[in-house]
C-alpha cells in the first residue's frame, strides 16, 4: 500500500542525498521513479544535486504545476513505481493534496524531502501541509556547531550578520544559511550574530 512520506530537516542534513539514493535503488531494480524539484531553485541547473557530488535530472514544479495530472499522465504512459520531490517546502498546500491523490488513487508512493522551517523559525506552507497530511514523518538529522541536534536555520548576510527580516524564500546554500540548535538559533536571532 502506497504512502505519502515527508523527510524533513534543516539545511545540510542530506535530504537530496537520501532522495537520490532512493531513486537509484528503484532504478537498480528496473523500476521507474519520477524526480521533481522546485523550478525556482536553479543552483544545480535544474537538477537535484547533493553536496557530496551526485545528481539527477529532474522535472520541475512551481506554484501553477498540476502534479497529480503530470504523474497520472506519466503513469498511464509507463508505470511509475515512486515519486520523489526535492525542495518540497516550496509545494503549495493544494499540491500536497494532489500528491496525496497520487498515493490514494494511483497507489504510487510519494517521498517528499524538504525544510520544515524558514530562517525565522516559521513553517513553510508546503511543509505545514505535509506535516498534517503525510502518512509517515521522518526527521533527518544534522548537528549544530555545539554538537547538539540542529533543528533551526539562520540566514546570514554578506557581512556575516544574522538576518531577522526579509522574504521567506531566498535560494542559497552554506554561504547564506547555517543550521543551529534551538538554543543557538534564539541567541543568533536575539543578538543579530552567530554565537560560538
- Condensed to tens digits (0 to 9), the pLDDT of residues 86-139 reads 999 999 999 999 999 999 999 999 999 998 988 888 899 999 999 999 999 999
- Condensed to tens digits (0 to 9), the pLDDT of residues 136-162 reads 999 999 899 899 999 988 888 777 777
Q: What are the residue ranges of helices labelled H in 2-92?
A: 15-28, 67-77
In angstroms, the CA 14 to CA 57 distance is 18
C-beta atoms surrounding 187 within 10 Å: 16
pTM: 0.86
State yes or no: is 163 an active-site residue: no
| Active-site option among 87, 98, 163, 165 | 87
| Of residues 140 and 175, more confidently modeled | 140
Longest dimension (CA), the chain: 55
In angstroms, the CA 173 to CA 83 distance is 25
Amino acid at each position: 500500500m502506497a504512502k505519502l512520506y515527508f523527510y524533513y530537516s534543516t539545511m545540510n542534513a542530506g535530504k537530496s542525498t537520501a532522495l537520490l539514493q532512493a531513486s537509484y535503488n528503484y532504478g537498480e531494480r528496473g523500476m521507474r521513479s519520477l524526480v521533481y524539484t522546485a523550478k525556482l531553485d536553479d543552483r544545480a541547473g535544474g537538477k537535484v544535486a547533493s553536496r557530496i557530488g551526485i545528481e539527477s535530472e529532474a522535472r520541475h514544479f512551481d506554484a501553477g504545476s498540476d502534479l497529480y495530472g503530470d504523474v497520472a499522465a506519466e503513469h498511464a504512459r509507463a508505470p511509475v513505481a515512486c515519486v520523489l520531490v526535492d525542495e518540497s517546502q516550496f509545494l503549495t498546500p493544494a499540491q500536497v493534496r494532489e500528491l496525496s491523490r497520487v498515493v490514494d488513487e494511483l497507489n504510487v508512493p510519494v517521498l517528499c524531502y524538504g525544510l520544515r522551517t524558514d530562517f525565522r523559525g516559521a513553517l513553510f506552507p508546503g511543509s505545514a501541509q505535509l506535516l498534517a497530511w503525510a502518512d509517515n514523518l521522518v526527521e533527518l538529522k544534522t548537528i549544530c556547531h555545539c554538537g547538539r541536534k540542529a533543528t533551526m536555520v539562520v540566514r546570514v548576510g554578506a557581512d556575516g550578520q544574522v538576518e531577522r527580516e526579509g522574504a521567506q524564500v531566498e535560494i542559497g546554500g552554506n554561504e547564506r544559511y547555517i543550521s543551529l540548535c534551538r538554543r543557538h538559533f534564539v541567541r543568533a536571532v536575539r543578538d543579530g550574530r552567530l554565537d560560538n
